[in-house]
Structure 1
């Protein structure tokens, strides 16, 4: 009697498996698919600060006639309304995939303008110190180029942290970590609030279908 080697398929098992594949009885698991927007490939899930996050959605942010970046939102679990995202616990990530070259002075000016537009006067006064830290961190970048990736994360217990092409952004006191929940909540409003374009907001809320790629 012929004995199969451990871990190998017998001829009978192999024939049965082949027949099942041919007849469509054996369903193979689908290949992992990412998504693509403006030729930027986005992972459907990432691990950030030890926590697995899923892609909630993505959209294009525009400045006038120009497309500035592809914005992706990663959350511990998917949500379809801004309020649900604001209340969500755990790590949250806004990822910026740059579509244009920009200087740090332009980044800082645009950021402050957008932030002030979505914050109340009282909130803006409360956040002067965090805004100064963010300005110093952006000055540390000097310049961003098309294809660069900036991750802006909220990490419970540490605060608002950021990386540019994997390099942590730094403030005057070291690696940027702004432990101010209000600062990050206002920042999220820039993308999910009423001032954001419907195209961007709907994309980040997962209401826009994205192209699948392997």
Structure 2
């Protein structure tokens, strides 16, 4: 009896914790960003018309339920995107660009264009964001945004803490790409 209880306890302790599951995608409770430990702030589903496009998790140093607090929080942040359908690189990049333009004035959006193009070049290397692909955008203060695809860093970090905040505003800004996804990423009731 004691050995069964001990075996069960070891199984529970050894199993990874999944804080959330969205459309069959499991998001870990904690991840590393460089040397920093981040916690899952929230996870949600990006839909377009009737299609499920991607599941997404937002990781921060500490949980925040207000968008401004999440965007302004000091330290690294991580956006994990798991593709639920195939999307070509140009469409994926254009959607990110549209989200940045929607949440910034014209001058600011124009200033981000070279860095959006850098992100687009990274995505063009893989040609397509395929179903099942894991895309991570790791925002490292002072170092830029590191893009990883299926766990492998791609290209050079995209410079500027302002660009990292601009990316976050796609989903958390005043005009988010999807209101219920914003609420989910902030851990708010749906």
Same-fold call, TM cutoff 0.5: yes
Partner of 2:53: 68
What are the ranges of 5 or more consecutive residues in structure 2 without an aligned counterpart? Answer: none
Detail structure 1 runs of 4+ shifted over 4 Å in the superposition. Answer: 28-32
- Are 2:135 and 1:194 equivalent residues in the alignment? no
What are the ranges of 5 or more consecutive residues in structure 1 without an aligned counterpart? Answer: 1-14, 22-27, 171-175, 210-214
Aligned residue pairs total: 180
- Structure 1 residue 45: Cα displacement: 0.5
Partner of 2:119: 134
Partner of 1:182: 162
SS class of match (2:157)? coil
Deviations 1:157-196 (A, max 9, x none): 21111101012121xxxxx212212212111111112322
Partner of 2:100: 115
RMSD of equivalent CA atoms: 2.1
CA distance in 2 between counterparts of 1:128 and 1:68 reads 24
> Which of structures 1 and 2 has the larger relative contact order (alpha carbons within 8 angstroms, sep 6+)?
1
Using the size of structure 2 for normalisation, the TM-score is 0.86
More helix by share: 2
Bigger Rg, structure 1 or 2 = 1
CA distance in 1 between counterparts of 2:112 and 2:128 reads 25
